[in-house]
Amino acid sequence: MVDDWPNLVGELERLLKLRSIAFGMKLFERREDMEAIPKIRRPQSIHTLDQVVGQAARLGWTVGITSDDLVGAQCRAVVGLGRAKTDDWKSGKHMTGVWFSTLEDASAHQSAMHCVPDGRFDALAVAPLASGKLDPPDIALFYATPGAMIYFINGLQWSGYKRFDWSVVGESACADSWGRALLKREPSLSIPCFAERRYGGVLDDEMLMAIPPEYLVKAIDGMKALAKNGFRYPFPQYGMQQDVRAGMAVSYADKR
């Protein structure tokens, strides 16, 4: 468990030089429990979930939603709000000729998505992690550059090494990030899709990590250990035409 969210987030921001706000996501079985969060905002317009996430990550807002606040079943299905996964949704016909050539392709895409099962949850909230308003969040999320992401992964792998295998569903990439993390309770890295970039404010050089909160402490401890070995983000450029032995000898005894 995390005892001090502001300090943890500060460490994450310092180590990865984050340019946006690390935030959390939490599902609620009862709408009333979501609405009881202090100073929570409720949408006045219909949104994509990408927009709601962007409001937390870019504006620092705490926002709560139900299925009625979202534009369609695609957003609802990933987080399991309402009864989104109808036969019509599973068919993918709404994406046929838009993102996929045939109905068969679109249906295959829908079945490939990681989604929270329908029927249990009535509401969802997003908020900056440092606020502590979701304590504990179901998952923590942050946007970062590819360089920062590999350093974060290196931190996760410092102790108790594990190989990570992720997939790319394509459009609806939120299924690769928050959908997968909520469903599988594992670190989940994604390349944000068109909708996240068009509607959620995601920048061209950003990736998204969604992760159960307990992994944050492990990754931060790992990155601090790497920093003591001289490995820090951003990575200093050595030069592609230099004799590499002097640089590598700092870390590897056999290169001296």
Q: pLDDT tens digits for 55-108?
A: 999 999 999 999 999 999 999 999 999 999 999 999 999 999 999 999 999 999
Closest by CA to 56, choosing from 15, 17, 9, is 9
Q: pLDDT tens digits for 207-221?
A: 999 999 999 999 999
Q: Name the band, by pLDDT with cuts 50, 70 and 90, for residue 2.
A: confident
Q: Name the band, by pLDDT with cuts 50, 70 and 90, for residue 255.
A: low
Q: pLDDT tens digits for 18-41?
A: 999 999 999 999 999 999 999 999
The pair of structure tokens assigned to 63 is: 């926002």
Q: What angle do CA 42, 43, 46 make, to 5 degrees?
A: 150
Over pLDDT 90: what percentage of the chain? 91
Say how far apart CA 106 and CA 91 lie, in whole Å: 7
Task: Give Cα 58 distance to the centre of its chain.
Answer: 14
Specify whether the CB–CB gap between 82 and 76 falls below 8 A. yes
Q: pLDDT tens digits for 144-198?
A: 999 999 999 999 999 999 999 999 999 999 999 999 999 999 999 999 999 999 9
Contacts (Cβ under 8 Å, ≥6 apart) of 183 = 114, 115, 116
Sheet holding 63-65, edge to edge: 63-65, 123-128, 23-28, 139-144, 207-211, 188-190
Q: Name the band, by pLDDT with cuts 50, 70 and 90, for residue 250.
A: confident
Which residue is it, tokens 């921001």?
13
Q: What is the pLDDT of residue 256?
A: 64
Q: What's the pTM value of the predicted model, to 2 decimals?
A: 0.95
Ordered alpha helix ranges (H), the chain: 5-16, 31-35, 49-59, 73-79, 87-91, 103-112, 146-157, 178-184, 194-199, 214-228, 245-248
Distances in Å between the Cα of 164 and the Cα atoms of 66, 108, 188 are: 32, 24, 9
Q: What is the pLDDT of residue 253?
A: 79
Specify whether the CB–CB gap between 161 and 62 falls below 8 A. no
Q: What is the pLDDT of residue 247?
A: 87
